[in-house]
Each structure stands twice: as structure tokens, then as C-alpha cells.
């Protein structure tokens, strides 16, 4: 099966600019996650979708971050405006229903200068 696709792989922007990341999960995986991994730390959940509904967005900084999953398939994560501390790798993952491990994409490395 094809893996989780993410784009772009790398992005460099200036602070206060906006940026968007795209994710296409594994076909048939109803649950989609966006994680933020800051250098030297473990991945931290930003938002979890079940089909096109939000299950948990309690750790999403909603004043600047937004995410959507239209039609329950692809998802987009946006940051506007970006801050220096948003520099991180943004990982998208998907999973089947129920208790199971995730399949992660390769991530988007964001550098805010």
C-alpha cells in the first residue's frame, strides 16, 4: 500500500508569513493526525481527525494554526502568522479505526527565520 504523502518536504519562511502543509493519508485510514516535532523533542499531537471531524485539537494554537480535512481524505495544516518557535518538523500520520499504531509521512521541515 502507498504510504502517507506529505508536501512540501522543506519550507523556509520569514516570521509573520503564512505557510500551508498538505497530507494525503493511506487509503482507508479514517483517522488522521498532525504532530509537531521540535528538534530534540518527541512528536506532540496538534490535531486528530476522525473522517472529516475533529476528535482532539486541544494542543493546537488556534490563534495561528488551523487545519481542515475536507471530504475525510486529504488534510491541510496552516500557520498564519508564523513565529520563530514554529520551526519544527510537521508530521502527518494516519491509522485504521481502533487501537493501532500510526503510519507516519516523511514530514515537512519548517524553518522560520
Partner 1 sequence: DQQVKQNSPSLSVQEGRISILNCDYTNSMFDYFLWYKKYPAEGPTFLISISSIKDKNEDGRFTVFLNKSAKHLSLHIVPSQPGDSAVYFCAASADTGNQFYFGTGTSLTVIP
Residues interacting with partner 1, by CB under 8 A? Answer: 4, 6, 31, 33, 35, 40-45, 48, 50, 55-56, 91, 93, 95, 98-107
Q: What is the smallest separation between the CB atom of 75 and partner 1, expressed in angstroms? A: 15
Cis status, amide bond into 8, omega within 30 of 0? yes
Residue 34's nearest CA partner among 3, 64, 59, 12 is 59
Using the minimum distance from each CB to partner 1, give the nearer residue, 78 or 96. 96
What residues pair up with 11 in beta bridges, in sequence order? 110
What residues pair up with 21 in beta bridges, in sequence order? 77
104 CB-contact burial (10 Å; exposed 0-12 / middle 13-18 / buried 19+) = middle
Q: What is the smallest separation between the CB atom of 16 and partner 1, expressed in angstroms? A: 28
Using the minimum distance from each CB to partner 1, give the nearer residue, 64 or 96. 96
Alpha-carbon torsion (60, 63, 64, 68), positive or negative? positive
Q: What is the smallest separation between the CB atom of 59 and partner 1, expressed in angstroms? A: 10
Using the minimum distance from each CB to partner 1, give the nearer residue, 28 or 98. 98
Using the minimum distance from each CB to partner 1, give the nearer residue, 14 or 55. 55
Amino acid at each position: 500500500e502507498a504510504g502517507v504523502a506529505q508536501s512540501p518536504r522543506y519550507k523556509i519562511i520569514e516570521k509573520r508569513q503564512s505557510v500551508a502543509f498538505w497530507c494525503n493519508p493511506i487509503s482507508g485510514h479514517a483517522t488522521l493526525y498532525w504532530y509537531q516535532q521540535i528538534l530534540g523533542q518527541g512528536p506532540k499531537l496538534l490535531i486528530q481527525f476522525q473522517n472529516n471531524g475533529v476528535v482532539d485539537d486541544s494542543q493546537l494554537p488556534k490563534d495561528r494554526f488551523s487545519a481542515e480535512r475536507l471530504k475525510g481524505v486529504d488534510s491541510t495544516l496552516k500557520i498564519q502568522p508564523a513565529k520563530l518557535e514554529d520551526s519544527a518538523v510537521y508530521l502527518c500520520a494516519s491509522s485504521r479505526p481502533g487501537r493501532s499504531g500510526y503510519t507516519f509521512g516523511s514530514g515537512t521541515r519548517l524553518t522560520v527565520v
